[in-house]
């Protein structure tokens, strides 16, 4: 399941279905969020092709990105790239509150979708932290363009429903979006970020 930012609205893409908040077409949503060839970025290239700047992660950098992010999750339970729309202090607080409520989540905020897509990356990320015997059982990766999760205790259908409910919150407040997502999946009101 992926939720992608398309203009002023998120797009829910999962199980072959895409629904846009602004009535956009399924084909248009998939064109904007699904890579056309293996290893291609999940986001669309601009009119002149992909930008040539250091903010775009190349396919060659994917193992390094996986190592960096998994290291952050193993050390702190969260990872944030500068410019991802949320401060590390906010993710630290959200992670601590989720942990205090009994959740074992890894939360990640990136600027761009990883090569091969956010959904693939989050599945690999959960496998990586679990192979290190971490107690993290759910990982959520949010980029400025999409969000995806992988979990041991929650099914894909449960994740899909929770992401759909959390989309409006993520649009306005990233930290609160993670909290709301946790509350949707657990059915509890456990935590409130300080800025809410």
pLDDT confidence tier of residue 85, bands split at 50, 70 and 90: confident
Q: Which CATH number does 59-186 carry?
A: 3.10.310.50
* DSSP string over 29-74: HHHHHS-SSTT--SSPPBTTBS--STTSPPGGGHHHHHHHHHHHHH
Mean pLDDT of 125-148: 94
CA distance 30 to 17: 9
Predicted pLDDT of residue 29: 37
CA distance 52 to 91: 29
Predicted pLDDT of residue 66: 94
| 8-36 confidence digits (pLDDT tens) | 334 444 332 233 333 333 333 333 333 33
> What pTM, to 2 d.p., does this model score?
0.68
CA distance 91 to 156: 24
| 87-128 confidence digits (pLDDT tens) | 999 999 999 989 999 999 999 999 999 988 999 999 999 999
Contact 110, 54 (CB under 8 A): no
Is the pLDDT at 2 greater than 60? The verdict is no
Is the pLDDT at 143 greater than 70? The verdict is yes
């Amino acid at each position: 399941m992926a939720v992608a930012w398309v203009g002023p609205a998120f797009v829910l893409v999962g199980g072959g279905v895409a629904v846009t908040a602004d009535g956009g077409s399924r084909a248009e949503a998939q064109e904007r969020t699904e890579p056309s060839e293996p290893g291609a970025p999940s986001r669309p290239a601009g009119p002149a092709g992909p930008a040539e700047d250091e903010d775009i992660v190349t396919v060659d950098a994917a193992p390094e990105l996986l190592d960096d992010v998994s290291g952050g999750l193993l050390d702190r339970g969260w990872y944030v790239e500068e410019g991802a729309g949320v401060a590390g202090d906010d993710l630290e607080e959200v992670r601590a509150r989720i942990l205090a409520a009994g959740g074992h989540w890894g939360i990640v905020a990136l600027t761009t979708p990883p090569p091969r897509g956010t959904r693939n990356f989050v599945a690999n990320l959960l496998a990586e932290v679990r192979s290190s015997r971490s107690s993290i059982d759910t990982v959520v990766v949010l980029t400025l363009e999409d969000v995806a999760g992988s979990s041991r205790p929650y099914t894909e259908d449960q994740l899909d429903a929770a992401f759909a409910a959390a989309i409006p919150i993520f649009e306005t407040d990233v930290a609160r979006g993670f909290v709301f997502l946790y509350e949707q999946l657990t059915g509890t009101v456990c935590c409130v970020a300080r800025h809410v």
